[in-house]
Amino acid sequence: MKKMFFYDTTIGKLGIAEENNVLTDLCFSKKNIAFDSILEETILLREAYRQIQEYFARKRQVFDLPLALKGTEFQQKVWQALIEIPFGETRSYGEIAKSIHQPKASRAVGMANHKNPLPIFIPCHRVIGANGKLVGYAGGIEIKKILLNVENLVY
């Protein structure tokens, strides 16, 4: 059974879910609570929250947590490419598409970003438009700006 718990953070309430000792979801509000989960804090969820607090305090650049990434093969490749974007750097959708050897798949990369089940842990906020502009983010552009600012990037 999936377990989910909500935490107050710099960017508002975050819901973090886990199943079988791996993180499965992060959502930006209680509206997104998974129907197949129970509200219960676990050791893993508490650790995920601790690492997020360290991230916001600029004391953590890399998360060290077990993640369960359920998605298509293409989505998995995109999400892995996102994890590889270093703290404090950004990439365009086109650059991600090239990095997974599908240079014409920029839009598909955007769709995979949209389906990212673990934003922040899988840093889709580090993906920007080819023109350097901020574009869509599940938590909204203002939250994306805050996350990039945590990484000393100003938009």
- Show which residues are catalytic: 124
- Structural contact between residues 113 and 134, judged by C-beta atoms closer than 8 angstroms: no
DSSP secondary structure letters along 59-95: --SS----B---S-HHHHHHHHHHHTSPTT--EEHHH
Report the distance separating Cα 139 and Cα 6, nearest Å: 15
Q: Which residue has the tokens 């490419």?
A: 81
Integer CA distances (angstroms), 43 to 6, 16, 27, 50, 89, in order: 14, 12, 19, 10, 31
- Structural contact between residues 2 and 18, judged by C-beta atoms closer than 8 angstroms: yes
- Tell me whether strands 37-39 and 2-9 are parallel, antiparallel or unpaired: parallel
